[in-house]
Amino acid sequence: TPLYSSAASDVYKRQPLVYPKISPCIITLIHKDKSILLAHNKNFPVNLYSTIAGFIEAGESAEACLKREVKEEVGIEVHNIKYFQSQSWPFPGQLMLGYFAEYKSGEITPDNDEIDDAQWFEVDNLPNTPPPGVSISRDLIQHFLKRLK
């Protein structure tokens, strides 16, 4: 028997409740002093860099996913993970959980599967990044820059 919402208006009283599939993922800005790590995904336009992102696997916490994705995609380890904010991203129904993470150890080594370049950028010399108001990646960058002032 389908479930119905008792709080719905008369128009919707007989409509079954539908819960869309949502794919949770993390996105993180990794920082080291006044530098941030940005990466170029093979599918991005030339010279567009962004923060690291990846899908959360079943049974995995967001924080464990963040550490795994960073290690897989750019070969470094992070710590001091701090939640920032979330963003719905409808391609294909993602919930992006944004975090800041501090560099811990390792040398940047792009996986060459998704990421073909990753570098530390000084905050006063950033490459092209996603435009404001579109992506949580840019929100992470802007928030970090404001914290430094």
pLDDT band at 78 (very low <50, low <70, confident <90, very high): very high
pLDDT at 123 over 70: yes
What's the pLDDT score for residue 14?
66
- The SS3 of residue 11 is helix
Q: How far apart are CA 130 and CA 10, in angstroms?
A: 43
Helix, strand, coil percentages, rounded to 5, for the chain? 20, 40, 40
pLDDT tens for 131-144 read 988 899 999 999 99
- The SS3 of residue 37 is strand
pLDDT (average), residues 106-133 = 95
Output the average pLDDT for the chain: 90
DSSP string, 83-147: EEEEEEETTTTEEEEEEEEEEEE------SSSEEEEEEEETTS--B-PPTTT-HHHHHHHHHHHH
Burial annotation 118-148 (CB, 10 A radius, 16+ → b, else e): beebeeeeeeebbeeeebbbbbbbeebeeee
What's the pLDDT score for residue 133?
85
What's the pLDDT score for residue 19?
80
Share of residues in the chain with pLDDT > 90 (%):
77
